[in-house]
């Protein structure tokens, strides 16, 4: 299936090539596995290895560490393209680049970068562990404790809803070294999967993106050496805020790709489906629905691309990232719902792909900052 996009003159030839290459990869290597991975509730390991071989798992990692040495915007284009085929695979790529690698590039010291970036570019999946039962939108109400011991820290507590945890070898974990200091006691740690006292819990049984693993993390005096403290003590909150602002652009890209996929499926189906002696695409009501949807998808694309460009330029982008995630997640849900409406009864069955997109779209309004959190960020900027 080809994507119905106008010529994207706002992309350079290199960016267009990247986007088309990733989309072609997804159609060739991901599409045949989508139904199987959905049923198995697991991303195939051989597919993850192909993502590494393609070079997009380490998009922003400098070439000296084995990465592609490309831009944040390039990572966003790859996330969008993968989401047009399977949002579950797309979010694995998204977390790897916009959260894990970005955090290491910004907050890691030279030794940490040399130790972990080559692995993240070639074989290791990474996860970002902030959320807990008591800290969702109130992200810094976390209770995981880091206790100072000889040579490092012992982590105790539980993290919830950690994306890609089933596949990950490296986890960026946020814990408090001083509960009395509130958010100023929060510190980030690099935790390897094989750390004694650390365990990845069972996968959550989810509504959508079911092939993407979402698991709790359990810490029982898990020892983390001093060398694995990421950034200064007590500044984990700052690292988390900066990273999540970037991550919201990635979720916007994922939802954008999903919306585009729903539109493409619907456009193809209305040309094939006939009622009253003619294709349903000839009915004005159908035409107007697709026209409105196409306009909203293009608006979402411009918001996502603009936020990513601003981030790469070093310009302020927090409000733009919130707008991109807010609008793209709304459009994705609308696009998937509209596609099911246009498919009619068959759209409600799992035989056709739009039912999956409808379930996958719902998470866009929830993770990496709910819709209300994005509205709050935008309102603060609007109202000063």
Q: How far is CA 92 from the centre of its chain?
A: 6
- Rounded CA gap, 33 and 139, in Å? 35
Say if strands 274-275 and 168-176 run parallel, antiparallel, or are unpaired: unpaired
- Rounded CA gap, 247 and 21, in Å? 23
Q: Tell me how many helices (H) and strands (E) the chain has.
A: 12, 10
Say which residues have a Cβ less than 8 Å from residue 88's Cβ, sequence separation at least 6.
37, 38, 43, 209, 210, 211, 212, 360
- Rounded CA gap, 104 and 74, in Å? 18
Please say if 368 is a catalytic residue. yes
Instruction: Report yes or no: 160 and 133 within 8 Å, Cβ to Cβ.
Output: yes
User: Hey, what are 58's tokens?
Assistant: 């380490």
**Given the residues 15, 38, 320, 368, the one annotated as active site:** 368
Q: Which residues pair with 135 in a beta bridge?
A: 132
Alpha-carbon distances, residue 29 vs 22, 34, 90, 208, 337 (angstroms): 10, 10, 13, 21, 27
* 3-state SS assignment for residue 367: coil
The set of catalytic residues is: 368
């Amino acid at each position: 299936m080809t994507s119905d996009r106008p010529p994207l003159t706002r992309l350079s030839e290199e960016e267009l090539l990247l986007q088309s290459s990733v989309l072609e990869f997804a159609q060739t290597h991901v599409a045949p596995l989508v139904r199987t991975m959905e049923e198995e509730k697991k991303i195939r390991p051989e597919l993850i290895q192909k993502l590494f071989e393609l070079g997009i798992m380490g998009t922003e990692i400098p070439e000296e560490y084995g990465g592609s040495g490309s831009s944040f915007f390039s990572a966003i284009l790859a996330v969008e393209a993968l989401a047009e085929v399977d949002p579950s695979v797309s979010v694995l790529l998204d977390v790897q680049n916009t959260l894990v690698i970005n955090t290491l590039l910004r907050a890691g010291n030279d030794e940490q970068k040399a130790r972990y970036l080559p692995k993240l570019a070639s074989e290791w999946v990474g996860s970002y562990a902030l959320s807990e039962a008591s800290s969702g939108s109130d992200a810094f109400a976390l209770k995981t404790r880091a206790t100072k011991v000889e040579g490092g820290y012992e982590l105790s507590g539980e993290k919830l809803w950690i994306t890609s945890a089933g596949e990950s070898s490296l986890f960026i974990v946020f814990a408090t070294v001083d509960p009395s200091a509130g958010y100023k006691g929060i510190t980030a740690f690099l935790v390897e999967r094989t750390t004694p006292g650390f365990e990845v819990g069972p996968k959550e049984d989810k509504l959508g993106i079911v092939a993407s693993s979402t698991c709790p993390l359990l810490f029982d005096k898990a020892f983390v050496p001093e060398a694995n403290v990421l950034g200064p003590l007590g500044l984990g909150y700052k690292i988390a805020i900066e990273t999540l602002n970037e991550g919201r652009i990635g979720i916007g890209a994922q939802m954008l790709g999903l919306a585009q996929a729903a539109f493409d499926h619907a456009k193809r189906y209305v040309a094939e489906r006939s009622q009253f002696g003619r294709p349903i695409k000839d009915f004005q009501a159908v035409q107007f629905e697709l026209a409105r949807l196409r306009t909203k998808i293009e608006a979402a694309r411009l918001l996502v691309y603009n936020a990513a460009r601003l981030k790469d330029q070093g310009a302020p982008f927090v409000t733009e990232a919130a707008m991109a995630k807010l609008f793209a997640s709304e459009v994705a849900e609308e696009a998937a719902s509209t596609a099911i409406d246009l498919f009619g009864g068959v759209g409600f069955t799992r035989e056709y792909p739009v039912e999956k997109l409808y379930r996958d779209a719902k998470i866009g309004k929830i993770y990496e900052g709910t819709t209300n959190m994005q509205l709050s960020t935008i309102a603060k900027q609007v109202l000063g």
